[in-house]
Amino acid sequence: MIEAVKTTLAAAVNGLMALRETSGGWAGQLSSSALSTATAVRALASVDPNAHGQLISNGRKWLVDHVNEDGAWGDTPQSQSNLPTTLLVWSALEVEPSDVIARAESWLTDRIGSLQPKQIAASLADIYGADRTFAAPILTMCAIGGRLGDEPEAWDLVPPLPFELATLPHKSFSFLGMPVVSYALPALIAIGQVRHFHRPSRNPAVRLVRHLARHRTLKKLRAIQPMGGGYLEAAPITSFVAMSLASAGLNDHPVTTSCVDFLTSTVRPDGSWPIDTNLSTWVTTLSVNALCIGAPLGDEETRTITDWLMDQHYTAVHPYTHAAPGGWAWSPLSGAVPDADDTAGAMIALHNLSPEAPEVVKAAAAGAKWLVDLQNRDGGIPTFCRGWGKLPFDHSCPDITAHALGAWGVWRRSFDRQLTAKIKRASARAVEYLAGQQRDNGSWRPLWFGNEESPDQANPTYGTARVLSGLSQTDVEIPSDMIARAIEWLTTAQNDDGGWGGDKSVESSIEETALAVDALLCSGSGADAVRNGAAWLVEHTEQGTRLPPAPIGLYFAKLWYYEELYPRIFTVSALNRFLAKCAVIPENQ
């Protein structure tokens, strides 16, 4: 078996290295998205259908070609049909082809009871609750696409977002209990404005305030627009902004034209759009950390990737989210914003690459402090911002907390005494948080990953694996039963075929199997489970030559995606660690 693992690993490593960009890192390849494609098509049709006729036609053809057998659409070509994406595609296709529209309307009727506008709005409220971050944009597109009835009554169903609050200082957002999170400020402004344009408030004072705020908030919308024109580097939010401004008569506004420039530059040759331009920083740090388990990278590769990651370190306040200096974003592109997961990943990668370089140690110290300052009162680490706790992306979450714990752990002997003491206290609080978040069965649930086949579409395999890996890198005291319970859950979640899915009795995938094997190796337990999992990877990747991705990733607003590099990276990490520890894993002859 060892020789088969070596063969599989060599093929996976060679394939991964072949995909590295000459600039330094890996760009990856995100799945095409029906949701992104639908919103981009609607935006281009709203701004100038004649100028963008070919892109609109190509996008609609891609949507028609990728409808599911049930007549609806999921977020990726492999995903189950869901209501938000199907509503958006329905609003993008308009009336042709009629048979596709008829099947989509039949699916929607079966799902929500009727196509009455009020029923559509109520169904979205059931999904998103008080979070208007995505419900308001979907309803806006439905209104623009004529799916909510005649104007101006159609706009009554679109929440009247208080875009005038965007004129206030950023620090006041959490105090005021804004109905959208900070990274959705462009949608707040654009959708608030188009709602005001079509259906102004009946309150004369509110109407006047919003009228007076239009120019100032448009100016702010332009000021926070990234150089490439794409907010968050994401087609959906950029499209929502463009279609909203166009519907409000601002087709030629600089924000609108920059949004269109972004959309026309990021469309794929097949006519589709991904959810984001790329996750380049994320997949690069994952790749480095997987490869370096086996052996250090070459001098040239180490230097190039180190420089590439250092260039992405934010050393000033972020102009969009006002995040403090010290973090890393998921991509070097201007629309990405600093977050805890990518900061932790970059810190670990830099430790694997150049742990003694003074400038790297300085950057890692800034990243460590940034994570400490982000820590919530409950001891957990949120994704973007500290303290709100009202919406999912502001909550502490186990997978990111464990990642931060691992980043602090690998650097713990490299910083001054004051920062080291802060890290030790923060790490102890993080472990307490993880102990409190461990479910009765011993698992943890992640925030940014899921599995459509699992109960509640959660992915405790990913969450538990990531927490175990993070705990293995810290030197703070861990409750005696916490790791044992996690290992027990992970080993009992293994399928009879030797692989893992997102939960017990869920079909095995390469990503989830590799993550489970890796985590068990980090914890030093489960020899039989590890050996069977490694054998599953050898067989199901055809010895590293075939690594199809699964849609386990969750983007903003729970949008599913897959990343072509995930199965390859996770397999390299698991099998590298397997071979490194194979001396303590007896092989049955």
Contact status, residue 518 vs residue 469, Cβ threshold 8 Å: yes
* Residues in Cβ contact with 566 at an 8 Å cutoff, skipping those fewer than 6 apart: 283, 286, 511, 549, 552, 553
Is residue 88 within 8 A of residue 120, CB to CB? The reply is no
Give the global pTM: 0.94
The vertex-522 CA angle with 517 and 528, nearest 5°, equals 45
Peptide bond into 204 cis (omega under 30): no
Residues 503-540 pLDDT 10s: 999 999 999 999 999 999 999 887 899 999 999 999 99
CATH class for the domain made up of 33-274:
mainly alpha
- Which band of pLDDT confidence, cut at 50, 70 and 90, is reported for residue 180? very low
For residues 209 and 168, the answer to whether their CB atoms sit within 8 Å is no
Query: For residue 412, which phi and psi values (nearest 5 degrees)?
Result: -60, -20
339-380 per-position pLDDT tens digit? 999 999 999 999 999 999 999 999 999 999 999 999 999 999
Supply 287's token pair.
């790749």
- Per-residue model confidence (pLDDT) at position 589: 36
DSSP string, 490-523: HHHT--TTS---SSTTSPP-HHHHHHHHHHHHHH
CATH class of 2-28+278-584: mainly alpha
Enumerate residues 6+ apart whose C-beta is below 8 A from 301: none
Whether 33-274 and 2-28+278-584 are alike in CATH topology: the answer is yes
DSSP string across 524-546: T--HHHHHHHHHHHHHHTTTTT-
Contacts of 3 (CB under 8 A, 6+ apart): none
Residue 503 near residue 444, CB atoms below 8 Å: no
Q: Which residues contact 77 (CB under 8 A, 6 or more apart)?
A: 31, 32, 34, 66
Q: Would you kindly state where each structural domain of the chain is located, as residue ranges?
A: 2-28+278-584, 33-274
Q: For residue 563, what are the β-bridge partners?
A: 30
pLDDT at 102 over 90: yes
More confident site: 95 or 52: 52
Q: Are 328 and 312 in contact (CB under 8 A)?
A: yes
Per-residue model confidence (pLDDT) at position 170: 66
By residue count, the chain amounts to 589
Condensed to tens digits (0 to 9), the pLDDT of residues 212-229 reads 999 999 999 999 999 999
Q: What angle do CA 20, 22, 24 make, to 5 degrees?
A: 70
Q: Residue 581: is its pLDDT beyond 90?
A: no
Which residue has 């054998």 as its token pair?
A: 535
Say if residue 179's pLDDT is above 90: no
* E strand segments, 91-244: none
> What is the pLDDT averaged over residues 63-67?
97
pLDDT 10s digits, 281-336: 999 999 999 999 988 899 999 999 999 999 999 999 887 777 889 999 999 999 99
Which residue's entry shows tokens 């053809």?
A: 61
Amino acid 279 reads: L
- Give the Cβ contact number of residue 496 at 10 Å: 8
Averaged pLDDT for residues 431-443: 97
The confidence band for 22, taking pLDDT boundaries of 50, 70 and 90, is confident
Angle, to 10 degrees, between the axis of helix 117-128 and the axis of helix 132-144? 160
Q: Which two tokens stand for residue 365?
A: 């110290």
Amino acid at 63: L
Measured CA to CA, the distance from residue 205 to residue 133 in angstroms comes to: 25
